[in-house]
Amino acid sequence: MELLQELHLRNPSLAIFGWLSLFGTAVCALMILITDTEVLGINAWIKPTKFFLSTVIFVWSMAWYVGYLKQAAIINVYSWIVIVVLSFELIWITYQAARGETSHFNTSTSFHSTMWSFMGGAISVMTISTLFIGVLFFQQDLPELPNAYLWGIRTGIILFVIFAFEGGMMGGQNAHTVGATDGGEGLKFLNWSVTHGDLRIAHFVGMHALQVLPLLGFYVISSSRSILAVSILYFLIAVAVMVQALNGKPLIQKKTQVSEVIEHEAAP
């Protein structure tokens, strides 16, 4: 495909890392089918599958965007920061899945606490580096790009950074669930809680502004004013989802809860 060929021309390092992550996605997905090891009540290999897949989406998105920038040395450094940080994260998450243990919020031993701190620090470095890339998109003149698309990239990166750091809320409470311990009932595969608040949802929605807003700016929206308005709306939606989670309410309520209440009230 021409799209994939162009991706390799723009940033071969991130393009290849994306392919490796896609292979990791396939391997972990296979492990879901052939193993029954569980972590927090679900198959242990679901989490690394999701993280490998999200890595593919992120690194290929950034490989495409940085191809517009002219600071080759800076882009090379950034690419390797991304590769090193995400390699560390993926290896640790996969290793812990194989052992049937949690990777995030795991402070059961001093070693696990240290690894958890390293994870937070590494992701912070990568996120700040991504913010710097966003600054370059404000500083560099890019007349060949449609204004709406350029602003979609700018606002997409900004929202990605904001909601990447929203993960600090989860780190602060050492859990992603609000109102209960992690590991309750959740949506299939995504595992977002259907009984309590879940901070991962805002994390997911906000960070994927990195893909949604540029795509809207390229294919749907034609003016910079309109994409800015949509970006603000997108931000408010992500914030609303976060506030809902902080109030301990699930995004999607478990359907059986309503029927259980009705049956209980109807019982003699």
Q: Please report, in tens digits, the pLDDT of each residue of the chain (268 residues total).
A: 798 999 999 999 999 999 999 999 999 999 999 999 999 999 999 999 999 999 999 999 999 999 999 999 999 999 999 999 999 999 999 999 999 999 999 999 999 999 999 999 999 999 999 999 999 999 999 999 999 999 999 999 999 999 999 998 999 899 999 999 998 899 999 999 999 999 999 999 999 999 999 999 999 999 999 999 999 999 999 999 999 999 999 999 876 544 444 444 555 5
Number of domains into which the chain is organized: 2
Are 78 and 162 part of one and the same domain? no
Helix (H) or strand (E) segment spanning residue 245: helix 224-246
Which contacts qualify for 47-52: CB closer than 8 Å, 24 or more apart?
A: 47/93, 47/97, 47/103, 48/24, 48/90, 48/93, 48/94, 48/97, 49/25, 50/189, 50/190, 51/89, 51/90, 51/93, 52/21, 52/22, 52/24, 52/25, 52/28, 52/90
**What is the rounded distance in angstroms from the CA atom of residue 88 to the CA atom of residue 93?**
9
What is the structure's pLDDT at 117? 95
Are 30 and 135 part of one and the same domain? yes
**What is the rounded distance in angstroms from the CA atom of residue 238 to the CA atom of residue 244?**
10
What is the structure's pLDDT at 1? 78
Are 159 and 130 part of one and the same domain? no
* Residue 56 near residue 18 (C-beta atoms within 8 A): yes
What is the structure's pLDDT at 49? 98
Picking from 144, 160, 177, the residue at the C-terminal end of a domain is 144
What is the structure's pLDDT at 267? 52
**What is the rounded distance in angstroms from the CA atom of residue 40 to the CA atom of residue 58?**
26
For residue 210, give the amino acid letter.
L
Picking from 117, 144, 171, the residue at the C-terminal end of a domain is 144
Domain extent, residue 180, equals 147-268
What is the structure's pLDDT at 251? 93
Picking from 113, 144, 175, the residue at the C-terminal end of a domain is 144
Ranges assigned E (strand) in 175-250: 177-178, 197-198
